[in-house]
Amino acid sequence: MYWIFAHGDGDGVSSAAIALAAIGNGKVFFSHPSGLLEDLKDNVTPGDNVIIVDIAINERHAREIFKLFEILSRRGELVYIDHHPEPISIKINELPGVIIHSEDACASELTYRYFEDKLPWEYNRLAIYGAISDYMADTDFIRKAISMWDVRHIYFEAGVLAQGLEGSRKMYDFKRHVVEHLSKNRLPSALSELLIRALIESTNEDILVEYIKKNVKTYGNIAYILDPPGSITRAATYARSIAKKPIGIAGQTKGNKIIMSLRTDRDDIDLNRILRIIAKKLNIDGGGHRRAAGARMNANLFKEFLSLLDANIRTN
């Protein structure tokens, strides 16, 4: 039996669709860095085959994941494909199993290149969709792949996928349907529900911007907004741009928790490194890429988190 564990954004969904097309049949499960360890424990039986795509290794769980990978790779096939920076405590390439890791390409490019021999060439457009969705379309491989298609067609389809998934949030059954649809080499725009969700998400963009203009707050070098009416990933970018701060944060409160997205446009700020340091101090989850990252914490830690983040920026 094959399991595919994937992140639920455009890159993760594209990666999962490529893997599913290559292996022919498998169960798709959407996870995230904070939940991957427990999701693997709760669903996978030793002897199952596991493919994990576009999910970073959480700093707090790194040692436990290493041990679990040892168990799973002894009894079945384990393939881990990711492009996030590695945790401080372990080296990604020392993980047991087949490890495909690079920060220089998106997960869907890495996944397609791993399974390329098992797929018709047309499936390279799934790698392109993921690359565009994750703002990593400037690699040599993706530029060459795009040259094989009409660029307007490719960007339209990638936009439908990215926007439609943003409008689908926790709808995991629907996202599994999208993965199955794409794995059959069908266009994102051919899935009517995905297309409609993309249109709604796009038309709501101006509402999101106007809300942030009225409600954005600042703390030192940080602009932040809580519970915006739309995507927190894009809200973080708009908060930074509107308040003219180097860091933008958008958070969604769920009970006593805040789930947040962070964005910067400065080359001298490494959000992933800073968040992993703060995560250890506050015992929270945090990390991602240099310019785009995420964090999860109890709401009562938010002000302290802002203070530590601002201090790191000022001393950077």
Give the domain ranges of the chain.
2-200, 206-314
Which uninterrupted H or E stretch holds 253? Answer: strand 247-254
In this structure, CATH architecture of domain 206-314? Roll (3.10)
Q: Where are the alpha helices (DSSP H) in 247-301?
A: 271-282
Sheet holding 2-6, edge to edge: 27-30, 2-6, 49-53, 78-82, 98-101
Total residue count of the chain as it appears in this document: 316
Residue 118 identity (one-letter amino acid): K
Q: Which two tokens stand for residue 194?
A: 């995905």
Residues in the chain with pLDDT < 70? 316
What pLDDT, on a 0 to 100 scale, did the predictor assign at position 47?
94
Q: Which two tokens stand for residue 259?
A: 């789930």
What pLDDT, on a 0 to 100 scale, did the predictor assign at position 60?
85
Is 179 within 8 Å of 20 (Cβ atoms)? yes
Is 17 within 8 Å of 46 (Cβ atoms)? no
What pLDDT, on a 0 to 100 scale, did the predictor assign at position 167?
84
Q: What is the pTM of this model?
A: 0.88
- Report how far residue 239's alpha carbon sits from residue 260's, in angstroms, rounded to the nearest whole number: 13
Which uninterrupted H or E stretch holds 198? Answer: helix 192-203
Which uninterrupted H or E stretch holds 73? Answer: helix 62-75
What pLDDT, on a 0 to 100 scale, did the predictor assign at position 59?
83
Residue carrying structure tokens 């003219």: 244
- Report how far residue 265's alpha carbon sits from residue 194's, in angstroms, rounded to the nearest whole number: 30
- Beta strands 27-30 and 98-101 are unpaired
What pLDDT, on a 0 to 100 scale, did the predictor assign at position 21?
98
What pLDDT, on a 0 to 100 scale, did the predictor assign at position 111?
98
Q: Please indicate whether the domains covering 2-200 and 206-314 agree at the CATH topology level.
A: no
Is 129 within 8 Å of 158 (Cβ atoms)? yes
| 2-200 CATH pick, 3.30.70.100, 3.40.1640.10, 3.10.450.50, 3.90.1640.30 | 3.90.1640.30
